[in-house]
Amino acid sequence: MTLIQGYLFRQILMPALAACAALAGIGILSQSLDQLEIIVERGQSVWVMIKLTLLATPQLIAVILPIGLFVGALIALTRLQREQELTAAFASGMTRWSVISPAMRISVMFALASLAMNLFVQPWAQRQARAEAFAIRTDLAALLVEEGQFVQGPNGLTVYVQDIEQNGLMKNLFIYLNDDGAVRTWSASEARFGRIGGEPVLTMIDASMQEYSSRGVLNYLSFDRFPFELGPYVPEDQRIRYKPSDLYLTQLLSPSPAVLEQAGSRGELLAEAHSRLSSPLYALAAMAMALAAILGGAFSRTGYTLRIAKAAGAFLALRIVGYGLVAASAWNGWVNVLQYLVPALATAFALRLLFRALKPRRRRSRVGALRVRPT
């Protein structure tokens, strides 16, 4: 890049990044407010809320990147045109393409960043968030234990803990279980939740168990350590059920029977795969439409409000159509072609307007216009 192109590159890049950061901040704030339920109703820590909010950020960024690029490019190009810096660049002998090439390079960078986000970062973050949400939903420490209270759980289970330390160690545990009339009680001086072989257990230390036999005899057993299995008392769905947004591209294109059973139909998975591959094209369309709004017409000292409004409306309609195509592709596989074609055609049309504006309009010559009237 030349010195002037480097200057234009920086002048457009910084507002675009600032617009994306502002939109991301608003989105993260909205996500954090939604996650307050985890603290209020589930008894989780603030760190868990922050972790879930951050894990939702990659999917949010993939959505706002084209929008932030469009807004930032409009701001930067409007300022450059108002201060006649673009006019000076053209007057110095730069061609139309050499002036807009820094902006298009930025759009390519945003498109590649969006593609990487869609293919790698987003599915990883979504899977981590899904696993974290599953752990919260099956967190028996929050569901079955409350310090100093008898907590009644499912299937006749009642748990009492006298004291819970900050490291999760429980003191003086009492468990009452009524299994269709068969009553058992456990007591332990210490206990801790954990997992053995992926199954949730409550490991009791210095424990004892009491129950009456069928003959009415009291049986008493003591244990140094006893793993009390909690599988029957957790929610029935013990598997993490992934959605199409949680899967990697290879899983979307070649799903296994297990993935099809829990994530959705083959059409839905293919629609999600093509959406991830085609959505970066909207970054190119966003920059092309922003350039067409500012440079796609004659210079105006009064501003470009009308052209910017038209470009913003067109870009909004383009994104709405894009989301509609993703939904329609789940039912008709041929619609997946339009997921690539629509943003590509929008980019080509905007660039056509941009380069056509450089050509002066020629008036059609009229026959006989130069005839000399007889005197």
17-21, 253-257, 272-276, range with the lowest pLDDT:
253-257
Which of these ranges, 69-73, 170-174, 217-221, 243-247, has the smallest mean pLDDT?
217-221
Task: Quote the pLDDT of residue 375.
Answer: 47
DSSP state of 147: B
What three-state secondary structure class fits 94? coil
From residue 76, how far is each of 10, 72, 162, 300 by CA, in Å? 10, 6, 63, 16
Burial of 346 (0-12, 13-18, 19+ CB in 10 A): buried
Residues 6+ apart with CB under 8 A from 362: none
Contacts 24+ apart (CB under 8 A), 262-267: 265/330, 267/329, 267/330, 267/331, 267/332, 267/333
pLDDT surpassing 70 at residue 42? no
Which phi and psi (to 5°) does residue 176 adopt?
-120, 130
* Other beta carbons within 10 Å of 365: 8
Query: pLDDT band for position 370 (50/70/90)?
Result: very low
pLDDT tens digit sequence for 304-354: 789 999 999 999 999 999 999 999 999 999 999 999 999 999 999 999 998
The pTM (predicted TM-score) of the whole model is: 0.77
pLDDT of residue 135: 74
Contact 343, 278 (CB under 8 A): yes
Q: Cα separations (Å) of 140 from 43, 201, 356?
A: 11, 10, 66
> How crowded is the C-beta side of 318, counted as CA atoms within 13 Å?
28
Residue 234 pLDDT exceeds 50? yes
- Higher-pLDDT residue of 193 and 15 is 15
Nearest Cα to Cα of residue 81 among 305, 360, 366, 330: 305
Q: Reply yes or no on whether the pLDDT at 19 is more than 60.
A: yes
In the chain, % helix, strand, coil (3-state, to 5) comes to 60, 15, 25
Q: Which comes out higher in pLDDT, residue 375 or 333?
A: 333
pLDDT over threshold 60, residue 38 = yes
CA 126 to each of CA 36, 48, 244, 281: distance values in angstroms, whole numbers, following the listed order: 19, 15, 10, 22
Q: Is the pLDDT of residue 119 over 90?
A: yes
Q: What is the pLDDT of residue 185?
A: 93
What does the pLDDT look like over 50-100, one tens digit per residue?
888 899 999 999 999 999 999 999 999 999 998 889 989 988 889 999 999
pLDDT score of 364 more than 60: no
First to last CA, the chain: 63
Q: How buried is 9 (Cβ within 10 angstroms: 0-12 exposed, 13-18 middle, 19+ buried)? A: middle
pLDDT band at 102 (very low <50, low <70, confident <90, very high): very high
Over the chain, what is the mean pLDDT?
Answer: 86
Whether residue 143 has pLDDT greater than 50: yes
Q: Report the C-alpha gap between 339 and 280 in whole angstroms.
A: 11
- What is the token pair recorded at 355? 């380069």
Count CA atoms closer than 13 A to 347's CA, side-chain side: 21
Does position 129 have pLDDT exceeding 50, yes or no?
A: yes
**pLDDT band with cut points at 50, 70 and 90 for residue 365:** very low
